[in-house]
Amino acid sequence: MPISAKDTNLTTAAVIPAAGRGVRLGPGAPKALRTLGGVPILVHAVRAMTRARAVSLVVVVAPPDGVAEVRALLDSHGLPEAKDIRIVAGGESRQDSVRLGLAALPDEVEVVLVHDAARPLVPVDMVDAVAAAVRDGAPAVVPGLPLVDTVKEIDPATEAVVGTPDRSLLRAVQTPQGFDRATLLKAHTTVTGAVTDDASMVERLGVQVLVVPGHEEAFKVTRPLDLVLAEAVLARRRATDDY
Ligand code: CTP
Ligand code: MG
């Protein structure tokens, strides 16, 4: 049943896909287990989601051979007792991992936030805003930012430019992406083909996706330079915000 605007007490869960290797980051431990300011990226991401008032349950999707390691890691980093944290094994693709995370949700969950472990510094206010938009009745919500670069469309065979989309109509989207659970589940059970986010699966169902303001600090740690930026943001927060 679709969520109505009156439902303000919906149970909200976060699914955190963390099963990727982080190939673009270069050789080393799986990306989610690398540290920022001495704390694993995954722990930062889990903390951000548990700090969100709406979120009562977090499902972490771990590398298939790393479930025990992730459990030990989370146990050793003092996460809030009041929030239920579950760990499941992930899959080959991000989509597979999210689907496996969704399968671990208890029946009462009605709103799902899907958040990349690779976005450890997402501000908690942004998480709350995404959750609030879904709880207010939007079936699918993504945080997005205007682009700074001009984007070209190319012919992949020749790299020749075939077009320049109007930048003012584009948004770079982040996570957490928030969904009415039934809508997201339907997307994950019916849409096939490779995608890079959950909202695009929901779009293929013909369901409207709403963009809300994203945040620069919700960037995805993808390449080595992102680690430098993330360390700097974290150091500034620790110096100024008692983070
Ligand atoms: N992810 C996952 N399962 C996979 C692949 C990715 O849970 N099979 C997760 C990653 O752990 C990450 C998020 O999806 O938190 C976003 O993916 P991305 O930034 O691409 O991370 P990786 O796939 O790990 O990085 P790369 O593509 O550079 O290998
Ligand atoms: Mg990837």
Centre of ligand 2 from the C-alpha of residue 223, in Å: 11
**Ligand at shortest distance from the CA of 32:** 1
Q: Would you tell me how many other CB atoms lie within 10 Å of the CB of residue 25? A: 20
- CA nearest ligand 1 atom 8, residue: 93
In which band, very low, low, confident or very high, does the pLDDT at 82 lie, cut at 50, 70 and 90? confident
Per-residue CA distances from 105 to 14, 56, 61, 85 (Å): 9, 12, 12, 11
Q: Would you report the helix, strand and coil content of the chain in percent, each value rounded to 5?
A: 35, 25, 40
Contacts of 112 (CB under 8 A, 6+ apart): 12, 13, 14, 15, 102, 105, 178, 179, 181, 184
pLDDT score at 5: 43
pLDDT, the chain, mean: 94
- CA nearest ligand 1 atom 23, residue: 20
Per-residue pLDDT of 208-233, as tens digits, reads 999 999 999 999 999 999 999 999 99
Mutational pocket test of ligand 1: of 116, 219, 222, the residue with most ligand atoms within 8 Å of the beta carbon: 116
Whole-prediction pTM: 0.95
Centre of ligand 1 from the C-alpha of residue 222, in Å: 9
Ligand 1: does its nearest atom lie under 6 Å from the Cβ of 23? yes
**Ligand at shortest distance from the CA of 17:** 1
Structure token digits, residue 187: 């997307």
Mutational pocket test of ligand 1: of 44, 92, 94, 195, the residue with most ligand atoms within 8 Å of the beta carbon: 94
Per-residue pLDDT of 136-184, as tens digits, reads 999 999 999 999 999 999 999 999 999 999 999 999 999 999 999 999 9
Ligand 1: does its nearest atom lie under 6 Å from the Cβ of 19? yes
Per-residue pLDDT of 98-136, as tens digits, reads 999 999 999 999 999 999 999 999 999 999 999 999 999
Ligand 1: does its nearest atom lie under 6 Å from the Cβ of 34? no
Q: What stretch of H or E contains 110?
A: strand 109-114
Give ion ligand 2 contacts, CB < 5 A.
20
Mutational pocket test of ligand 1: of 16, 25, 31, the residue with most ligand atoms within 8 Å of the beta carbon: 31
Per-residue pLDDT of 184-207, as tens digits, reads 999 999 998 889 999 999 999 999
